[in-house]
Chains A and B, each alone.
Chain A
Amino acid sequence: MKLLIKGGRVIDPSRGVDEIADLFVEDGRISALESESPDEGIDIFDASGFVVAPGFIDMHVHLREPGEEYKETIASGAAAAVAGGFTAVCSMPNTSPVNDNASVTRYIIEKARAAGLARVYPVGAITRGSEGKELAEMGEMKEAGAVAVSDDGRPVMDSQVMRHAMEYACDHNLVVVDHCQDLHLSAGGVMNEGRCSTELGLKGIVSAAEENHVARDILLAELTGARVHIAHISTAGSVEMVRAAKRRGLPVTCEVTPHHLALTDEAVISFDTNTKMNPPLRSEADRKALIEAARDGTIDAIATDHAPHHFDEKMNEYDCAPFGVIGLETALGIALKVLYHEAGIELSRIIEMLTCGPARAFSLPGGSLEIGAAADVTVFDAAREWTVEPERFKSRSRNTPFAGWLVRGAVVTTFVDGRQVFRAG
């Protein structure tokens, strides 16, 4: 099995590469180029005019299986992933049952293997049942294949439990991922607190509800030495604290979602429940701070927080509809539209946040096109404009705030282990 991805602009931030080059794949791995005139038994993919990058890694998705297969399955989520250029995703543990033990972890890995598309790396729970009380069996989950721990969506409120979780996670070399939200400050909130929530009469979630826990986690990271990852950072204040923590050399990383880069709480004025997610869409000042943090390297990764919900659940009162939007199939188009075409951030920096950035933060394989690496490759057209049509998604759900948007940047083809798992139709 040989493959030549020919004539593309190869951008591999893990090695500082940005050049027109051929990429040679043999037996599922990146290989040294054999000769100028390849032999007969080789597949050739003409990538001229396209960018050839390491396969994207989304460190934050909800695949809903086990338990809520009507929203998404591991197979449908993996299909959505590769259609969006993601060759690996990290699945959050808030399934039913919660992924708080090795058997659930193994189940997810089995299902992903059967689907055979994107790699799926399970994230285990921090506490049993994500109830915030007793520690989950992190050691066993790690052995079964979990790459990090998180009580995403049900943040650990008890700071002593969080401290113990961080100390214990150190023993097993697991990153602690926190969805930062002080549940008391945010109680009843359904959108960002600010001018828009005041106008709409909807209960707000103040920025301080996130920042309170970002501050706490940074202090606990310093205390315990644990590696802490701040999920879906959304406020200017959080960004500033992470920037300062990094300057002090603390092992703190963070991710941002495409929707927080592209939208503000003004979008809620439509009462479209596909603008409801947690953390909520923030102010324009916050959005600008996130873009600057993406530019200057404060942000390690772009992660979608892909959160499928059924139409029936979303088509309800704004304050009753569930939080969350899907994002795997729009991430590249939104990220390039906002960060590259609008903000003028270099392509290599954006690709870094989609590849080696998340790989480093979670110590995952992949995110690089170095010789010998698994041939996970994403080829995309950075300029192509397309309109978001949710009915064409591979995901089982349609809850996107970007329906009808004209975006720029389209996935052309995706390879996992040198196997073509997606090709734009």
Chain B
Amino acid sequence: MAFNRKDLLGTRELTVEEIKTILDTAESFKEVSTRSIKKVPTLRGKTIINFFFEPSTRTRTSFEIAAKRLSADAVNISASGSSVTKGESLIDTARNLQAMAPDAIVIRHRSPGVPHQLAKMVEASIINGGDGAHEHPTQALLDAFTIRERKGELAGLQVAIIGDIMHSRVARSNAHLLTKLGAHVRVAGPRTLVPPQFDKIVGESEGSITVCNRIEEALEGSDVVMMLRIQRERMSDAFFPSLKEYSIHYGLTLERLALASPECIVMHPGPVNRGVEISSEVVDSARSLVLDQVTNGVAVRMAILFLLAGREID
């Protein structure tokens, strides 16, 4: 099998071969969720800890359901803040987790790099469930899975990613992953929220990244549009003046969507701010795959847990 990693830390380091293995494995697991008894014994006796230092409903639930449908024992731990506010250093957190002998730890943390740091300290597989604005590999994998399911192939597709690129781990993980699979990524957003040299973050790949000055430019003829959630608190940091102005200038409406290819699909990592970055008409339209993304998220996470936590089984 073309997957021999201890951890899944990001999409940056994945090979095309590994990505295809994950997506193919997810395809075979997708059917499990459609059975009346939605469970296979694949990971029986394995322990998976979902350690979320940041509030999350969707991702945590998705991982929990994925683990349970594979018959693993899943435990959720929530904490808030950093090691500094918690009063326990990262290394002690790691050692305590390791002492409970889990097979895999899904970690979400507000600080970039925490999964990478923990992966060096523990024997369990570390799965990055989102580290600050850095990476969110399982989201990008479920996005690629959803696109592939609808479009068949990613190579040559034009994918627009629009909104707060700066603070988005989804944008970064997708930039790496989609370009590896040969898609052409265009990003756009208010200039305050597009970080410098975003088009330089990926290495050699079949696809490309273009930073567009206007959202219309990014939408023009695109096959896939991914809208990113805009956080209200960005206003207080002077990134943009108001949600109203944001929706007028950067929001996805049916009118703007008409610039894209007629078969263009619309995605959003959730939770959606209706009427802000995306209008209700678009969210509720047949082109919106928001709920397919959620469904596929379980299958993709089952595949990842299987490939990592189940690795000694083979």
A317-B201 contact in complex given A194-B196, A198-B196, C-beta closer than 8 Å: no
B91 contacts the other chain (CB 8 A): yes
A202-B196 contact in complex given A271-B117, A315-B89, A316-B89, C-beta closer than 8 Å: no
A198-B201 contact in complex given A315-B90, A316-B90, A317-B114, C-beta closer than 8 Å: yes
Whether B112 contacts A202 by the Cβ 8 Å rule is yes
Specify which of B90, B167, B172 is in contact with A317 (CB 8 Å cutoff). Answer: B90
A200-B113 contact in complex given A195-B196, A320-B82, A320-B84, C-beta closer than 8 Å: yes
Q: Which residue of A lies closest to B115 (CB)?
A: A271
Task: Write the nearest CB–CB distance from B168 to chain A, whole angstroms.
Answer: 8
Task: Write the nearest CB–CB distance from B110 to chain A, whole angstroms.
Answer: 8
Whether B116 contacts A271 by the Cβ 8 Å rule is yes
Whether A317 contacts B109 by the Cβ 8 Å rule is yes
Specify which of B82, B135, B198 is in contact with A198 (CB 8 Å cutoff). Answer: B198
Task: Write the nearest CB–CB distance from A312 to chain B, whole angstroms.
Answer: 6
Residues of B near A317 (CB, < 8 A) are: 82-83, 90, 109, 111, 113-114, 117
Instruction: A198 to B201: give the CA distance in the assembly, Å.
Output: 7
Task: Write the nearest CB–CB distance from A397 to chain B, whole angstroms.
Answer: 16
Whether B109 contacts A199 by the Cβ 8 Å rule is no
A187-212 vs B, CB cutoff 8 Å, 1 = contact: the mask equals: 00000011101111110100000000
A194-B197 contact in complex given A315-B90, A317-B83, C-beta closer than 8 Å: yes
Residues of B near A315 (CB, < 8 A) are: 89-91
Residues of A near B116 (CB, < 8 A) are: 271
Specify which of A193, A200, A312, A319 is in contact with B196 (CB 8 Å cutoff). Answer: A193
Q: Which residue of A lies closest to B134 (CB)?
A: A201
Residues of A near B108 (CB, < 8 A) are: none
Instruction: A312 to B90: give the CA distance in the assembly, Å.
Output: 9
Instruction: A301 to B109: give the CA distance in the assembly, Å.
Output: 41
Instruction: A319 to B135: give the CA distance in the assembly, Å.
Output: 15
B187-228 vs A, CB cutoff 8 Å, 1 = contact: the mask equals: 000000001111011000000000000000000000000000
A201-B112 contact in complex given A271-B117, A315-B89, A320-B84, C-beta closer than 8 Å: yes
Specify which of A201, A271, A312, A318 is in contact with B172 (CB 8 Å cutoff). Answer: A201
Instruction: A35 to B82: give the CA distance in the assembly, Å.
Output: 68
Q: How many residues of A contact B (CB 8 A)?
A: 18
Residues of B near A202 (CB, < 8 A) are: 112-113, 132-134
Q: Which residue of B lies closest to A199 (CB)?
A: B201
Q: Which residue of A lies closest to B198 (CB)?
A: A198
Instruction: A271 to B119: give the CA distance in the assembly, Å.
Output: 12
Residues of A near B117 (CB, < 8 A) are: 271, 317-318
A316-B84 contact in complex given A195-B196, A199-B172, A201-B135, C-beta closer than 8 Å: yes
Q: Which residue of A lies closest to B113 (CB)?
A: A271
Q: Which residue of B lies closest to A319 (CB)?
A: B111
B169 contacts the other chain (CB 8 A): yes
Task: Write the nearest CB–CB distance from A78 to chain B, whole angstroms.
Answer: 30
Task: Write the nearest CB–CB distance from A266 to chain B, whole angstroms.
Answer: 12
Instruction: A9 to B109: give the CA distance in the assembly, Å.
Output: 56
Residues of B near A312 (CB, < 8 A) are: 89
Chain A 158-202 residues near chain B, CB threshold 8 A: 193-195, 197-202
Task: Write the nearest CB–CB distance from A383 to chain B, whole angstroms.
Answer: 35
Instruction: A220 to B120: give the CA distance in the assembly, Å.
Output: 49
Specify which of A195, A199, A316, A319 is in contact with B132 (CB 8 Å cutoff). Answer: A319
Q: Which residue of B lies closest to A271 (CB)?
A: B113
B26-55 vs A, CB cutoff 8 Å, 1 = contact: the mask equals: 000000000000000000000000000000
Task: Write the nearest CB–CB distance from A82 to chain B, whole angstroms.
Answer: 33
Q: Which residue of B lies closest to A318 (CB)?
A: B113
18 contacts between A and B (CB under 8 A): A194-B196, A195-B200, A197-B195, A197-B196, A198-B201, A200-B113, A201-B112, A201-B131, A201-B167, A202-B113, A202-B132, A202-B134, A271-B112, A271-B116, A317-B113, A317-B117, A319-B112, A320-B83
Report, nearest first, the 10 A-B pairs whose CB atoms are least far apart. A201-B133, A271-B113, A201-B134, A317-B111, A198-B195, A195-B197, A199-B201, A201-B112, A195-B200, A318-B113
